[in-house]
Chain A
């Protein structure tokens, strides 16, 4: 009897709690802190982005947004936590291109269907850079040398099975055969061309801004359909006669897939507003990642396209 009563009491309590959260969601979201799960450790690009936007969103949403770092398994540990959190808009997470690429390699138990992408807040094409003392002054010289000496030049990248890898494979298919040297620690990757350990580095400009400003890196080519406004002298891969699928490095904010529409709309509006603030504009200028914000279904579609491009390459 007591046991039955206890169970009954418990059920009523849970039902009551559920009803209350349900009511709160519909009426005055948000009314308590929103957790932002950064899916990588402190100090990385995703972390800096997350902390920057959390600070701006706090002002708009009127609640505090504590950042929690849950790193591991290429960002999947944090996403699993996000996926299994209540879909009430009180938990968001970072979802970045590296993690989406990892799904194509079979890492993690998350899929794109588990999440709703609020918006792509940072997106940047990648470049090929060389150190300032490199013999290659132009992209033509580099490509010519690579065509004449297949497998001789080395390129520092973030790993196998990433968009870096896909770009190099696509180039190799067109006769520009360079060796992929994966450096999973970003610091070691940036230092590789400077120390003369690799000939080239495949990288987004935002992460190596200090070397571009100081002139220690020379930009040879950009993997994008058009030239970059900040780098008007750098030719695109297409101009150099290469046929590429352009895969930008991107960072998004996402919530669990079952998040209600009205809550999602509130977050989407807040993210759009955040990217228009002066603080964000200064930040994205510093990291060369300014873009027209892509939110909602369009963002989801973009991430989906990226996933299939990587998966198709890995199937070959």
Chain B
């Protein structure tokens, strides 16, 4: 996930990383990473990234922080539950993959280069 400040709201962190804070810790699917204490409304990226084992790369001069994905189990997926995916179409309208629940979906990646 990308951030423009070293701290983000709890909601932005959850939406950006796909990890949700629960009493058990930070969870995705059936997997939970225990946390020393429940985070508040404001999440300090360097602290949470270190505690969860997520990579963090930044360019503070350009107000940019990037939290990378997890590498739990040494696999790209920790759960078969499809992650949240919200992307714009050509006109900038956001499309939420959740709208297609109830259908079989094939997500096809292509590139114009």
A and B pair up: no
Binding site for A on B (CB under 8 A): none
